[in-house]
Amino acid sequence: VAFLPFGLLVDKWRWEVFSGQVKPEEYNKAWWELRRKYQGIVPPVERSEADFDPGAKYHVPSNTPYMRYFLARILQFQFHRALCREAGYKGPLHRCSIYGNKAAGEKLNRMLAMGQSKPWPEALEALTGEKQMDASALADYFAPIKAWLDEQNKAKRYPVGW
């Protein structure tokens, strides 16, 4: 879960740079605004435009799109839920293990065997029964810890947000 905000903001920053929305003299400022907005963090020391903190992430100077990692994290949980269902598992998603389950392994293998022969939505459908990515499996997986955190925040009156 902690990865998702960063996974999104790297390409959000890149797209804003490419569109001209963020000017070169504001690169670092825009980077830290996104870090604060999406991750709730600020630089550990004072930063200026003489610094280029986005460049510390290899994907920025190499012009490598980062969205693939964000989307992969969502798909990881969608795959997990589908394979747990294939294995016949009925309990909470965070407790499911498909280790050694032949039915789940065969279903995954069939999808992977498609390679590039089919468009990705068809491969996704072959595994999950859905042609679209869906982050609800990620929410389902972490629902117990979210409920616990909500309870703790309420009981202890912790402020939420930044």
DSSP string, 65-134: --HHHHHHHHHHHHHHHHHHHHTT--S-GGG---TT-HHHHHHHHHHHHTTTSS-HHHHHHHHHS-SS--
Q: How far apart are CA 63 and CA 59, in angstroms?
A: 6
Write down the pLDDT at residue 147: 97
**Rg (the chain; Cα; Å):** 20
Look up tokens 């879960």; give the residue. 1
Write down the pLDDT at residue 1: 79
Look up tokens 């920053």; give the residue. 13
Look up tokens 């830290």; give the residue. 32
Q: Block means of pLDDT (10 residues each) for the chain, length 162 residues? A: 94 98 98 97 96 97 97 98 98 98 98 97 98 98 97 94 84
Write down the pLDDT at residue 88: 98
Q: How far apart are CA 25 and CA 74, in angstroms?
A: 34
Write down the pLDDT at residue 112: 98
Question: In the chain, where are the structural domains located?
Answer: 3-65, 68-131
